[in-house]
Structure 1
């Protein structure tokens, strides 16, 4: 076989660098029948009725809808943009006879979901088969601008030890198809079935990632970078590092709190990288990453966090509070201090998965639970 030109073997993937740490987010919402409060396949009628809002987008399943913020310079700009978008979306859903809420999973829906009839999604359906029709999960994704592809991958490695913190704080999926799973984030356990979800590998340079991606494309595993559904991935077209580990939370302000934490944490770790240092949680061996991730999805904030290769651990709540303290100077600089304080007083003490479980224990009704999720979002937007 003749030698191939280097660019044909490993074509360069351009990373559109962001000189500033810009900020953006995506939230996936549940479309509901307002009477039964079960999921409803409403995305087509929603988009056909309101085609002029590109920030409101379809997802794989017809029972979900995603909002995409604009590229923002700071957390307050992001908050204003997302609240406006969600208010628009909620009003449109109501005018079409649908209710709207979000959490990591729908608590009781048991029926298979239908796939949105777009070429990319139909191709995914063909590959995933049965699993695609059970994918009733809803996430929060946060993008932070990176100065280069190399920097994005370096920060990605430094951020991996913090993924259990982000997962435990955002965990909002204790129920699945009418059952209490005893997990804080069962969404993560369902996604673990898939071929390319979970904690990403590490790469030493952008050229290494480009070679890896080309190999996966040659193998037929991916066509574009978005086909890599890791909990944390570079997004070269946006010039961002994208954090995907988090469950969607019931209110916009809770999601904004998590975005503020991600934003502050990534900027802190970028500074560490530029100074040749790690964050206060050093990179771990793969088995520690795997166990900490599993423990956070299972026990949420009550999990233990393994911090060294000998298996020693500390309560995750203590690790979270230590992390907040480390982030104090960066938060002050970025204007996220108040958001992190609210997160600490709210989600650390009243995480969504515990609120949902307690309500079900009090009422015995998952329909009342979904009605409460709808009301929480409505009351949040009314403020």
Structure 2
């Protein structure tokens, strides 16, 4: 299959996808209710879409094309409310977070869909271990070459995205000591990691042709990169975010991406280089392991500084662009959390320290997702 042409999109428009947990309200373990949820939700007209995911205890929601973080929040709110109403009828709950804290992967069921069956046959037990939950943010780009430039500029901010969204400290009942353990599961897939360093769509097409000739790749869906171009939408898709515990944080993260993209397009602040990737995996690991307490190595200067400090400097730098796009409230929400050193991983740990029961942590996380104060 040849590489699709890069579609036109309005620059800096947004689209957000969230993978969500379905849990029962008895012990708050994952529950295989995706088919029932989809049946109920599809009776309501909603923006975007609600679709199944790899295993039957997961669903994915998506917004339509949005112009502001506020519009993202509005669409996510409509979908969230419909999900909550449907879940209440089924006596289950919907939860955010990058991992379920105590589910056992071998108990999961692959959702009955041809692509999921094919992936299960290819990847074996990794498919069930892929019961993890992420947020994807699409940002519109002026053209294909601009998309690749955007992709490689955004790669410098992968640690920032990870630390801001980290919400997966627990795996199968254990504290992993990571703020984002979810990405360790993604890294197990052979076509994960970073995109190749090419800066024109012609070069990218040549790379894609080589990969398809090997038989390893059939389409762009086969690349599990941290950031990838999405030619059918005319976007770049960032895939490293854990699903946040609230839709407000999900929308704020989209606003942060939009402000960064506006800064890139307006000021062309730096030219990405292959050498940026010398510290890419180290910075990625630091953010997964330590979250906002990570050390960040600046790819340009090699300077080491606290990631939290670099985040605050970045937010100052893009504040004007955020204001122009209506993303100031998004930046303010994230900034206050960065200053407090608080992300969703910390909330989950504090809740577990207080309650001493991971099922209760999931119950309270379900309340947070539906907008209740806890």
**TM-score of the superposition, structure 1-length normalised?**
0.91
Show the 5 A alignment for 1:351-362: 351-362=343-354
Which residue is 1:23 aligned to? Answer: 14
**1:232 equivalent in alignment to 2:258:** no
Contact 1:141 1:244 in 2 (8 A): yes
SS in 1 for 2:192: coil
Structure 2: runs of 5 or more not aligned = none
**Residues 294, 373 of structure 1: alpha-carbon distance in 2 compared, 3 angstrom cutoff:** same
Structure 1: runs of 5 or more not aligned = 1-9
Contact 1:182 1:298 in 2 (8 A): yes
**Aligned partners of 1:109, 1:243: CA distance in 2, in Å?**
26
Select the residue among 319, 343, 346 that pairs with 2:337: 346
Which residue is 1:318 aligned to? Answer: 309
Which residue is 2:50 aligned to? Answer: 56
**Aligned partners of 2:305, 2:273: CA distance in 1, in Å?**
15
Select the residue among 180, 194, 197 that pairs with 2:192: 197
Which residue is 2:31 aligned to? Answer: 40
**Aligned partners of 2:12, 2:299: CA distance in 1, in Å?**
31
Which residue is 1:156 aligned to? Answer: 151
Show the 5 A alignment for 1:162-177: 162-177=157-172
**1:115 equivalent in alignment to 2:110:** yes
Q: How much does 1:72 deviate?
A: 1.3
Q: How much does 1:205 deviate?
A: 0.5
**Which is worse superposed, 178-187 or 306-315?**
306-315
Show the 5 A alignment for 1:1-383: 11=2, 13-52=4-43, 55-112=49-106, 113-273=108-268, 277-278=269-270, 284-308=275-299, 311-346=302-337, 348-349=339-340, 350-380=342-372
SS in 2 for 1:16: coil
**Aligned partners of 2:335, 2:224: CA distance in 1, in Å?**
29
**Which is worse superposed, 108-117 or 291-300?**
108-117
**Aligned partners of 1:88, 1:297: CA distance in 2, in Å?**
32
**Aligned partners of 2:179, 2:345: CA distance in 1, in Å?**
5
**Residues 356, 21 of structure 1: alpha-carbon distance in 2 compared, 3 angstrom cutoff:** same
Contact 2:141 2:147 in 1 (8 A): yes
**Residues 328, 361 of structure 1: alpha-carbon distance in 2 compared, 3 angstrom cutoff:** same
SS in 1 for 2:149: helix
**Residues 310, 152 of structure 1: alpha-carbon distance in 2 compared, 3 angstrom cutoff:** closer
**Aligned partners of 1:104, 1:266: CA distance in 2, in Å?**
25
**Aligned partners of 1:322, 1:149: CA distance in 2, in Å?**
29
Contact 1:234 1:240 in 2 (8 A): yes
Which residue is 1:6 aligned to? Answer: none
SS in 1 for 2:239: strand
**Aligned partners of 1:193, 1:111: CA distance in 2, in Å?**
15
**TM-score of the superposition, structure 2-length normalised?**
0.93
Q: How much does 1:377 deviate?
A: 1.2
Number of aligned pairs?
368
Runs of 4+ in structure 1 over 6 Å off:
none
Contact 2:170 2:181 in 1 (8 A): yes
Q: How much does 1:40 deviate?
A: 1.1
Q: What's the C-alpha RMSD, in Å, of the aligned pairs?
A: 2.0
Q: How much does 1:50 deviate?
A: 4.2
**Which is worse superposed, 305-314 or 170-179?**
305-314
**Aligned partners of 1:250, 1:50: CA distance in 2, in Å?**
21
**Aligned partners of 1:149, 1:308: CA distance in 2, in Å?**
25
